[in-house]
């Protein structure tokens, strides 16, 4: 089938409500008034975060998620249309509300979340199969967040096999605690990309050493590009068994405002580089540059830049 979509991003899609500055070093407590900057809204979740990053990096992007029939869904629709992202896969329903997250941001850009999963938590394999032509038309299918999609997880193994049969590369992003090692162990042989954060990977494996974690994933049948996002230490990637690629952080092109969405931005930058035909080391540099841009804006999308600016920051020739 003709691949008209570079990346279809499927899963968690929410509106973020940004509250800053809020000290995260001491309990907030009760009966207190916090004076903050103007409270604003933006889009969030893997569908919005990675989808927007990929679109700004020149990829043809489609979304797939459940949303409510409410004003928050209208806001998501406006954002995606402005970014020229395909919204045919935003499934409106009256039975639940659009997912929302209150993001509390401190002066250093660290954040905590109060999250209502909402409609995306009800996403099912039947939703995907009813709209399978969109997935079959995609070069890569990125699904997230593992551990926050209870309606989809039981059928994901069969879906990954179907994606592969239709010539789609597959990727999963984690969320929350990172979930457990099962059913991830069943999915790993069918993933072309899997790059959790160190905290998520440690929760899954009970190990905090990145190399040992990657070896554990390989022992469970992982055959694609795997890695661990290491925050301020960059990332460690493995294109195949016994081979490691270290990725350093890139200096942001402005003051650090908010680290929300940096992991999603890294993943999006890596996939955009691969779609663009870059070798893994170069794609990893683009990923680091995308994450560096992300943290210069409030919310997960305000700091993202286009291909030329991001590639220049990554020092790609």
What confidence tens digit (pLDDT) does each residue in 172-208 have?
Answer: 999 989 999 999 999 999 999 999 999 999 999 999 9
Mean pLDDT of the chain, nearest integer:
95
What φ, ψ does residue 265 adopt, rounded to 5°?
-65, -40
Q: Which residues contact 257 (CB under 8 A, 6 or more apart)?
A: 109, 295, 296, 297, 298, 303
pTM above 0.75, yes or no: yes
Residue 83: how many other CB atoms lie within 10 Å: 19
H or E element in which residue 186 lies:
helix 181-187
Residue 310's closest CA among 274, 256, 272?
Answer: 272
Residue 277 is encoded by which pair of tokens? Answer: 């035909």
Burial class (CB in 10 A: 0-12, 13-18, 19+), 251: exposed
Q: How confident is the model at residue 250, as a pLDDT?
A: 97
Look at the block and give the residue holding tokens 């509390």.
104
Q: Specify the residue for token string 């009966």.
A: 31
The pLDDT tens digits for 107-157 are 887 888 898 999 999 999 999 999 999 999 999 999 999 999 999 999 999
Model confidence over 54-89: pLDDT tens digits? 999 999 999 999 999 999 999 999 999 999 999 999
pLDDT at 34: 87
Q: Is the pLDDT of residue 257 over 90?
A: no
- State the pLDDT at residue 1: 63
Mean pLDDT of 87-108: 93
Tell me the domain boundaries of the chain: 5-24+35-230
User: Which residues, at least 6 apart from 71, have a Cβ–Cβ distance to it below 8 Å?
Assistant: none
Provide the edge-to-edge strand list for the sheet that holds 61-68.
86-93, 61-68, 5-11, 138-146, 169-174, 193-194, 225-229, 235-240, 243-247
Residue 296, both tokens: 């210069």
> pLDDT tens across 286-301, in order?
999 999 999 999 889 9
| Residue 10 in tokens | 């499927």
Distances (CA, A) of 114 to 17, 100, 205: 10, 8, 26
Distance of CA 12 to the CA centre of its chain: 9
Please answer whether residues 41 and 149 qualify as being in contact, where contact means their C-beta atoms are separated by less than 8 angstroms: no
pLDDT exceeds 70 at position 101: yes
Domain at 5-24+35-230, CATH homologous superfamily = Ribokinase (3.40.1190.20)
pLDDT digits (tens, 9 = 90+) for 13-59: 999 999 999 999 888 888 889 899 999 999 999 999 999 999 999 99
Q: For 133, phi and psi rounded to 5 degrees?
A: -60, -35
């Amino acid at each position: 089938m003709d691949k008209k979509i570079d990346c279809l991003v499927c899963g968690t899609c929410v509106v973020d409500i940004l509250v800053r500055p809020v000290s995260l070093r001491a309990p907030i407590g009760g009966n207190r008034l916090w004076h903050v900057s103007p409270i604003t809204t933006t889009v969030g979740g893997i569908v919005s975060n990675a989808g927007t990053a990929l679109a700004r990096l020149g990829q043809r992007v489609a979304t797939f998620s459940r949303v409510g029939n409410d004003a928050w869904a209208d806001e998501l629709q406006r954002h995606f249309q402005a970014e020229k992202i395909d919204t045919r896969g935003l499934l409106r329903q009256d039975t639940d509300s659009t997912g929302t997250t209150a993001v509390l941001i401190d002066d250093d850009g660290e954040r905590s979340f109060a999250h209502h999963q909402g409609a995306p938590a009800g996403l099912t394999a039947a939703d995907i199969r009813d709209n399978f032509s969109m997935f079959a038309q995609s070069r890569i299918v990125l699904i997230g967040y593992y551990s926050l999609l209870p309606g989809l997880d039981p059928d994901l193994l069969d879906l990954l096999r179907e994606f592969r049969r239709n010539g789609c590369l597959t990727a999963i992003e984690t969320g929350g605690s990172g979930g457990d090692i099962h059913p991830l162990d069943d999915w790993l042989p069918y993933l072309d990309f899997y790059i959790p954060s160190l905290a998520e990977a440690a929760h899954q494996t009970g190990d905090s050493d990145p190399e040992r974690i990657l070896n554990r994933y390989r022992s469970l049948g992982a055959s694609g590009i795997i890695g661990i996002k290491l925050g301020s230490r960059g990332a460690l990637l493995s294109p195949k068994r016994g081979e490691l690629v270290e990725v350093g952080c890139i200096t942001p092109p402005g003051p650090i405002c908010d680290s929300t969405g940096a992991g999603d931005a890294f993943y999006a930058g890596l996939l955009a580089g691969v779609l663009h035909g870059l070798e893994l080391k170069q794609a990893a540099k683009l990923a680091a540059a995308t994450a560096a841009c992300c943290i210069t804006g409030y919310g997960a999308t305000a700091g993202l830049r286009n291909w030329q600016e991001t590639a220049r920051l990554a020092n790609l020739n």
